[in-house]
Every structure is written in C-alpha cells, then in structure tokens.
Structure 1
Amino acid sequence: MDDDRVWTFEESLWTADAEHYRESIDDECLMVLPAPPFVMSGQQAVQAVTETPRWSKVELSERQVKRPQEGLIVIAYKASAERDGIPPYVAHCTSTYRRLSHENWKVVQHQQTPPLVSSSAADD
C-alpha cells in the first residue's frame, strides 16, 4: 500500500460509516483510547464506533509512515477531527496495519493520546 492510500484509508476510519470500520478492524486488534474502558479489543472498538456519531471532517498532520517488515505498516500522526455539536477533538495517534492478502489490509493496533494540558496553562 503506497503512502497516499495509507492516509486515505486512515482518514476513512475516522469518517466512514460503521460498516466500513467493521470491515477494516482485525478481530485481534488492540486499541488504547482516551475514554473508559481505555483498552479495547477490535470487537469492543467496533461496537463503540457503531454507537458513536462519525466525524464529519478530519485533518491528519505530522504524518509518518514506517514499514518495519513486509506486510506491516506503522503510522503516526496528529488528528484534528470535527463534527457538529461538539468541540474539535485533537490527538496524537498511531495505527498498525497488517496485510492479510494482496490489497487486503486490516488495523491490528490503534492508539490516541490527546495533548496534555499543563497545570499552568489550565490556570490561565
């Protein structure tokens, strides 16, 4: 999978419907998200997405792609996501894809870390 396809695929995980998400997440996937229960399996994450409105817009910046071995892609980036009715969401993220067969990739790891707010910034 070339870099352009990697980023298109990752963006789709934020904005596409729950069925696309279900098809893209491996059953053995592990995720760490900034809300309880924090650590989720692939099926727990799919269920959470099914029950949550999708993002209407996402911008991925600070992009990095690594290919540590054949059939494995690791990415890191900053996400800025928006949808009506809630404040924008920002997080630094990683995802790992595993190739199952030609052109068939699944997410096996995803993590989101929102920026920390220092106590001095919170006091301002």
Structure 2
Amino acid sequence: MDDDRVWSFEKSLWTGGADHYRALVDEECLMVLPQPPFVLSGSQAIEAVADTPRWSEVEIAKGRIARPQEGLIVIAYHAKASRDGETYEAHCTSTYRRLEHDKWRVVQHQQTPPLTSSASKS
C-alpha cells in the first residue's frame, strides 16, 4: 500500500461508520483509547463505533510510516478531528497487516490526547 493510500485508509477509519469498521478492523485488533474501558478488542471497538457519532473531518499531521517487514505497516501521527463544533486531538498509532493482495486490516490502534503539565502551576 503506497503512502497516499495509507493516509486515506486511516482517515476513513475516523469518518466511516460501523460497517466500514467491520470491513477494516481485525477481530484480533487491540485498541487503547483515552476513556473507559481504555483497552478494547476489535469487536468491542466496532461496537463502540456503532454507538458513537462519526467525525465529519479529520486532519492528519506529522505522519510517519514504517514498514518493518513485508505485509506490515506501522504509522504514527497527530490527528485533529471535528464534528458539529466539537474538536478532538490525539497522538495516534495504528498497525496494519496484509491478509492477501490488496486486503489490509487494522491490528492495533492507540490514541493519546496531548498531555498538559501541572508542574508549571505553583
């Protein structure tokens, strides 16, 4: 999968609905999100998406792509998503594995919102 397709694939996961997730997220996937229950399996993530309004727009910045072996892609990036006046930002990673020619599935995803330092407050 070339770089442009990787980013298009990732953006679609932010904006696509539950059926889209079912098609692209592996049932063995593990996700770490910044709200309880924090760690989700692929099927739990798909169900969570079914009950959550999708983002209407997502901007991806500072993206990096690694291909540690044939059929495995790891990405890291900063996302800024919005919908109906609400915004969300996070540093993210995803890992894709190829099942067969041109058929990829997400096997790992995590989101970490920007951290704020309380050390500067006295």
TM (norm. structure 1) is 0.94
Which residue of structure 2 aligns with residue 14 of structure 1?
14
Counterpart of 2:6 in structure 1: which amino acid? V
Counterpart of 1:36 in structure 2: which amino acid? P
CA RMSD of aligned residues (A): 1.4
Secondary structure of the corresponding residue to residue 40 of structure 2? strand
Counterpart of 2:28 in structure 1: which amino acid? E
1:85 is displaced (CA, Å) by 4.6
Can you give the 5+ residue segments of structure 1 that lack an aligned partner in the other structure? none
Which residue of structure 2 aligns with residue 105 of structure 1?
104
In the aligned structure 1, how far is the partner of 2:60 from the partner of 2:31? 18
Moved over 3 A (4+): none
Which residue of structure 1 aligns with residue 90 of structure 2?
91
Count of aligned positions: 122
Counterpart of 1:42 in structure 2: which amino acid? G
In the aligned structure 2, how far is the partner of 1:6 from the partner of 1:35? 26
Counterpart of 1:69 in structure 2: which amino acid? Q
Once the two structures are superposed, residues 45-72 of structure 1 have per-residue CA deviations (whole angstroms, 9 ceiling, x without a partner) of: 0000000000000000000000000000
TM (norm. structure 2) is 0.96
1:15 is displaced (CA, Å) by 0.5
Secondary structure of the corresponding residue to residue 54 of structure 1? coil
Counterpart of 1:112 in structure 2: which amino acid? Q
TM alignment of 1:12-51, pairs within 5 A: 12-51=12-51
